[in-house]
Amino acid sequence: MKPILKWAGGKSRLASRICDAFNGPCEGTYYEPFAGSGAVFLHRKARGTIKRAVLSDANGKLMAFHRAIRDQVDDVIQAIAELPREDWRERYYEVREAYNKGPWEGPEHAARFAWLNRAGYNGLYRENRLGGYNVPMGSYARLTLPEPACFWQVSHLFRDVELLDGGFDLILPRIGQGDHIYCDPPYVPLTATANFTAYCKEPFGPEQQRKLAEMAEHAATKGARVVLSNHDVPLVHDELYVRARGFEMVGQPSVARAISRNAAERKAVGEVIAAIGPRKRAA
């Protein structure tokens, strides 16, 4: 099941491998605190390996999009039909300006979110420090939007799913025995000049990366299974997801990236899929 949204670092191609890292169906509640496009959730839900689920993201505008798809999908489809098609290039910045004015909830917001996602540069979502969406227009031959059937399928899979605004620390008090947590945070940068964590105006730097690793360790002692994705760089496997602290490297995929403006620079980069838990709390 493919997501509606294109998303930087989206996990559609790796969803099956990430699912395997959980070692079976989720007996408790499934959590995704970096929801993004929801690729891994949709994969697992469509295959029946999760029942109860809670998705959250620090980007509240993204979560408002997902809630509208869950609760008002027909209205979202109608609102998208009213947005530019043939003259989309001439009106891209008009739609972007309307999106930044809000409101950031409901079918109209969700329609603009989906439209900009497909009309903007490489499906990138980026905000400035004031929270304004500032992605330039994409260089596509034509505007391609998902078919209504895709919206209906995703809406069905989101039914009864809790969709929350907030970062990963929002779910920590709720984690318990048998729960599964998948964490796909903004990645540790490959180089000092390749840092991209601007999915929303709040930063996600080294301090947040370390706090997330600590959360995963704590969740494991509560009987949960945590799977995390990140770049395959020394900071990740030597300081964050350390074997001596209970982490295991269950996969090291090589994934193509498509954010760079220069097509020649869109090379495959190394990633890690790490996992921890469940484990007993130390006496």
pLDDT higher at 21 or 254: 21
Could you tell me if 183 and 272 are in contact, meaning their C-beta atoms sit under 8 angstroms apart? no
pLDDT tens per residue across span 93-135: 999 999 999 999 999 999 999 999 999 999 899 998 888 999 9
The pTM of the full predicted model, rounded to 2 decimals, is 0.90
Given pLDDT bands bounded at 50, 70 and 90, which one contains residue 162?
A: very high
Looking at residues 158-186, what average pLDDT do you find?
94
User: Which CATH superfamily includes the segment(s) 15-71+151-193+203-276?
Assistant: Vaccinia Virus protein VP39 (3.40.50.150)
In order, the DSSP letters of 115-156 are: HHHHHBGGG---B-TTS-B-PPBP--SS-----HHHHHHHHH
Assess whether pLDDT exceeds 90 at residue 194: no
pLDDT of residue 205: 86
pLDDT tens per residue across span 205-261: 889 999 999 999 999 999 999 999 999 999 999 999 999 999 999 988 876 655 444
Assess whether pLDDT exceeds 50 at residue 191: yes
pLDDT of residue 259: 46
Domain boundaries, the chain: 15-71+151-193+203-276
pLDDT of residue 276: 98
* Residue that the structure tokens 């360790």 belong to: 217
